[in-house]
Amino acid sequence: MVNRSNTEGERKKYQSTMDERHKEILKTNRINFRKNIANPDDINDMLFSRGVFTESMKQEVEAEKTPIQKLQKIMDIIPKRGSEAFDIFYEVLIATGNGTAADFIKPELKAYRLQNPVQSVQSMGNLANAQLPSEWPNEQAMTEPITVVPCYRLSRVFKENWSNTMTYSMKKKIRGRAIIINNTNFYGPSENGVVVLSRRKGTDKDKDRLEILFQQLHFHIIVHEDKSAQEIQTVLAEEIGDPYHSAADCFILVILSHGTKTGIYGVDGEVVSVEAITGFFASNICPNLAGKPKIFIIQACQGENKDHGGMLSTGPDISTIGELLRKTKDMSLNEQDAVKDPAQSSENRIATRRDIFIASATHPGFVSLRNTLYGSWFIQAVIWVFQRHAHAEELSTLFRMVNNIVSRGRTSDSESEMDIFQAARTEDSFIKKFYFFPSCHE
């Protein structure tokens, strides 16, 4: 039986208007397509199977006598087939072995295509099984250009999750806002006239590379530098009142700072608790983001204990940061983001603490490590994993991979003869799966 609502939805989708910029790209590259495409019949068949072409359009192409004439007919039809036709045409070119022609459509993805010449659209999901770095920190991995692998509409992940009601909607061209608070220079607290919190060398590497990553993941990025504890709260208070979020799919907050077991340091040495930070985004406080995924990524220590490792154990998780939700190698280059601690409900309202995901660089009570040249172990692992696997993996899986990488790292401890290790952690109250779907939008 034909689902009439789905059929009508598909019809409306292909009756929409293609972006003028995309039309211009197709128009100016017609000669390039003619020189680099030799199998228009395959392209015609796949465009029909994807629903871009109707039966009559497919027959129009087949009626042409030569391959060049068939290709010209295809190029005449595609610009008239709606907003999604451009992206689907790119995917079809890749799937039919026309990578060179695809590069004219999306040159920003050429580097990835050349690095993976044998990858077809159908096999893109296999990238998730790629080998993780054998050691961390890894200079090459932490300095390489960032290119997010696209999610293709032919992929299993897209087909199973794009319209799935148990997956958070991430369909808008700009998914939402990503706020980065980057604290580098501190002027408090002080002991005997000396500022205790050191300058966070290397944090700008994290900030700069996160901007590139989140831009490719379709977020609007705003960066705040060197904020006091009160200023952090002011930034968040202003953010939750912004009507921008009513039309957004998602919200991301990244905090790069020193930290302690009780929270995050402002540059004045005062502390803001993680509970207070996430509390700003409770559904009753920020209704514009109610029911939408809110992701918090925190690069900061949560104490001054150093993890010197131990025998493998199945012991309990000692974390306490999730209480809100439940109720390279050179030590001279690897610093710690830690110092000592200073002395109504109703049936039709969603849970106020729902749809929150917190990813922390370390566990409560322990230090996190930052390379002064290349950035923090945790954030650089996030960047490494997300650019390679966000197209195919759910958020919790991405962070398991991040933790896998971070936990491989070790650096010497100047105060003991043992190495220091680090383990990241997550806590969430998500009720659906979360995929970034890079390169896909309505």
Residues annotated catalytic, as ranges: 258, 301
β-pair type (190-191, 194-195): antiparallel
d(CA 46, CA 40): 10
Q: Output phi, psi for 28, to 5 deg.
A: -75, -15
Q: Measuring CA to CA, which residue among 273, 258, 277, 254 is closest to residue 187? A: 258
Rounded Cα distance between 137 and 143, Å, is 11
Burial class (CB in 10 A: 0-12, 13-18, 19+), 404: middle
Angle at 162 between CA 159 and CA 165, to 5 degrees: 115
What region, left, alpha or beta, does residue 369 occupy, with left being phi > 0 and alpha being psi -120 to 50 degrees?
A: beta
- Chain Cα centroid distance, residue 29: 31
Backbone φ, ψ for residue 179 (5° rounding): -100, 130
Cα–Cα distance between 53 and 63 in angstroms, integer?
Answer: 14
Q: Which strands, in side-by-side order, build the sheet including 294-299?
A: 219-225, 176-182, 250-256, 294-299, 356-360, 425-428
Q: Per DSSP, what are the bridge partners of residue 264?
A: 259, 272
Write the CB contacts of 244 (distance below 8 Å, at least 6 apart in sequence). 177
